Each structure stands twice: as C-alpha cells, then as structure tokens.
Structure 1
Amino acid sequence: MTDPISNRTYAIRGTAHQAHRPEPGLYLVATPIGHLDDLSLRALDIIAGADILACEDTRVTGKLLKRYGIERRMAAYHEHSGEKAGAALVETIRGGGSVALVSDAGTPLVSDPGYELVRAAIEAEVSVVAIPGASAVLTALAVSGLPSDAFFFAGFLPAKEKARADRLEQLLHIPSTLIFYEAPHRIAASLAAMLEALGDRPAAVCRELTKMHETIYRGSLRELAEEFAALETVKGEIVVCIAPPAEDAPPNEADIDGILEGLLAEMKPAKAAQEAARLTGLPRRELYQRALTLKDDG
C-alpha cells in the first residue's frame, strides 16, 4: 500500500492533482459545514500535503477525505486530548513538519477545539496560518435578513435554565445582532428563554445550513418560540440570529411603573409582567422583578 505521507494527492471530479508539502507551521483549515463542495482549493492542497492531519473526529474527517480521494493518516485532536497531544504537534512543527488542524465542520476554534493548540504554537514561536472557508456563523448572518454591520457570537447557551437566563441577561443591551449555536432538542426552550430575557425582537432560526434540508425560519422571537414549541421533534444543526435592541427609546421608569400598577390592580405579578412585556417589548423577567417591588410597596 502506498504510504499516505508520500502520496500527497487529491482528486476533483475524477482528475488527480499533486499537493505541495506546506512550509513548517500550524494550518487552521476551514472545512464544509454541510455541502462537501464548499472546500477551497487551498484547503485541499494543505489537507493533502501536510505531514500530519489533526482532526476532531477521524470518522467525520474520513468522509471528507474519501470525497476527494485523499489517503492520509489522521491524528485525533479534540477537547479531551490534553496538553501532551498539543505539545507533540508543536514539537512536530519545531522539527520542520507541517500540521493541518480541522474540526468536524466549519472554521476551527469557533465553538470547536484548537485554542490551546494555537496558544502553544504561538508561545513556541512557530508559524500559525489560517486557511479560511465555511463558517456557520457568517452563513447564518448573511441569510438571516438582520443587521450585519456588527454582530456578537455567543456560542452555545448553558443547558440549565438558571445559567441560561443569567447568560442572556448579560447580553441584553449589546447593540449588535446576537448569534447562537443550539442543539435541536433544546431549541424550543432556548427560544422561550430568549423571548423572556431579551424581549420580542426580529430573529431567524437557520437549520441545516448548506445541506439538502436547509431551512430558514424568520419572524419575531415570539412567533418563532410559538412555532418551535408546537413541533414534536426538531432535527439538524441550528444557528439562531437575533436583532439588536430597538433604537427607539424604551419607556421611562415612570411609564413602566404606571403600566405595571394598572395591570397589578387586576392580575398577579407574573401575569402582569407577561402582559407588560407584550405591550413594551421589554424582558418579562425584568418586568416581573419590578412588579414584585411595586406589589411589596403597596
């Protein structure tokens, strides 16, 4: 069998190409987030030509290699690899070798392993090179229809309700489009939490980007939360985009108190906060705390 290291080739639509061995360094190679044709020629050359291909999951990367006829030895590098695995890769580079790092999908380090390896490479004063390409964050932002001049990527929200609410409260006043990754089995609960914490804003839920069943849901957070709450099951990888806070000046404290006092005369604090959130677009959690204070003050 041919040695995969010496056989530095890849194939595009049946035509074989010879890859070049890269200069010593760590190469951060973006891979497709779904559609396997979304891989640049430069990325192919680095993946096929590097001395070591470090990947998050060898089974996932193996499918990509098969698609392009690449025969490579792969080294697993993931969040549980530990410092020794990273140190060994850096030593390979110091000895004149090249290491290509790929994640399961998209750009390495974006909610994926690799940060510690990059830090170790920089401290060792070896070359670190990005090979740009697909990114679920930017793809979702582009198709969301929401402001794209400034955005804040918040990764995955905590799974536990209290921690999730606390994290969303930290993001409440950020004047940028917010972008989250979310698991399909948590999307309904997360949308409900986003509505409660951030108020009703324009949003988009982007599912299975670049894949056969790509679907973009656009609407208000309230509409999306209700839509996903009604679904029995949700499948696929999901990115959520939420518009920045409204530029219009929010009601002042006196106005808010007046609304809440009127509602508290007829309903309990939780229901009053829910109705006030609908009227003002402000977060229900914040209004509920104010309602409790007003009720205690009589």
Structure 2
Amino acid sequence: MSARRSLEGQVAVVTGAARGVGEVLARKLSARGARVALVGLEPEALEGVSRRLHTESAYWHADVTDHTAMARVAKDVEAHFGQVDIAVANAGVATGGPFIDSDPQSWRRVIEVNLIGGAVTGRAFLPALVSARGYFLQIASLAAIAPAPMMSAYCASKSGVEAFAHCLRAEVGHAGVRVGVAYLSWTDTDMVRGADQHEVMRELRQQAPWPANRTYPLGPAVDRLVAGIERRSPHVYGQWWLRGMQSVRGCLPSAIALGGRRQMRRFAPRLGEVSTGLVGAGGVADEQARALSD
C-alpha cells in the first residue's frame, strides 16, 4: 500500500459535486487542505457547497457528457487555480426496472452520464494531470462486480467505467499519472433513496445476501475514498467487504442469474409499478437541465 500524500494546496476537481458522494467528498478534501473545483448541473447547489468549504474553491455549471463544455471547464479550472492534481469522475444517474419495459431515453442517459461522462472528464483533464503527474479517480460501484436484475443500464455503465479506468491506467502510467477505480455498495445518497421509493426495487435489494443488502452511511464510505486519493490507490473500496468480492466475481453472474429467475417470477405481477425514469434528486436535476437545453 502506498504512503499517504498530503493534500494541502493540491487542486481537486469533483464532478457531480452538488449532492451525495460528490458533495461530501468535496468537503472532506477541503478539510484536508485541498482546493476544490466543483462541477455539476445545479449552480445554486454548487454555490452552496462552495461557500461551505474550508479552502479556496470555485464551481462550474456543465454537463459531463458535453465535450466542448468540459474542455472549457478544464481550461478555466487550470487558469483559475494554476494546476490540477486530482480529478474525480463522480457524476452519475440511475434508473431501474425490467429492460424490456425501460424508457429508451432514460436508459441511454445512464450510459451517457456514467460512462461517456467519465471518459469526457478524463479527456478534458488528462493534459493537466500529466503536467502535474496527478491522479484520476473513476467512481464505479458494486454494480461493476455483481450485475443485478432490474439495473441493466446502471450495471452496464459501471462495468464500462471500470474497464475504461483499467485501460487508462495502462496508457498513462508511464507519464506519471495514477488512475484509480472506486467501488461503492448501496450508500445513503439521494440516488439510493430515490430507488428505494419503488417498493419492488427496495424489496429486491433487501433480499440480496448480506452484506450487500444493507444501506451504508455516506461519511465513512467517503473517508475511504479520501484515503485512496491520498495514496493514489489503483482500487478504492467504500465498504471493507468489497475488496473480497473481487476474488469471487467470476462466479457471481451464474449465481445472480439463478436467484434472479426466482425473484423476477415472484415480482412479475408488480413490475408495472416500477418507474422507468431517472431516480433521485440528481436524476430530476439531470432531466430538468436537459429540458431547458432542448
């Protein structure tokens, strides 16, 4: 395990910083002395987060799937702070329900924000990270390790960002840039609470084997992310047990398919109750921002 590096004076970019993991991560990075650039779709919320930080900060309103906008943000951030040492691709949305009944636009949007948004963020900030010999952290999920029914878009996107980060690590390591993948289980965020508003989704999750059936507090999970950033770790686990899942992930698709058949048969009469749109306050913000841009 690498030694921790001080974050004092370093510049960290966090996407999806208006709420949830991004907001708490920004606060904890600032508490350790980092200067923070916040990126997201909710200017008022970003301004509020920025005001509460302990160190120098600024915020930018941008859609992480927009190459032009993110390239402009990267230039502005570097001009404002003089450098970029850390970039965290955290922005994400989710939808649930059976794929066959899914809303095509919402399904596609999950892939766009989570996977393409992570890649666009990397493309925008990699030149500055190369100059600083910095660190790029891609937020993935248990969904990358254990693909589950009723979560096809989210699992596909998080499997994709995991693979993207692994490829990127091999490409830019010679330039001194470290790349990490962070894995989180069900964590107490607006996204998870939004998914839990649908009874079928909540019951499906609660029937998963322990410890994957719990909702974990946000603070300790983000503390682990900060420790991973300080160490420039290739893998960061928001919950202690996720590390062990790596050793059995090859067996999981078959086991999940077997259990999924039973669960889907039981839930079949109630599947029409599940909303097909984006979940949580972040999903609402994304839909509103796109409606305004149309």
Taking structure 1 as the reference length, what is the TM-score of the superposition? 0.34
Please identify the structure whose Cα radius of gyration is greater.
1
Q: TM-score, normalised by structure 2?
A: 0.35
Return the structure number with greater helix share: 2
Structure with the bigger RCO (C-alpha within 8 Å, sep 6+) is 2
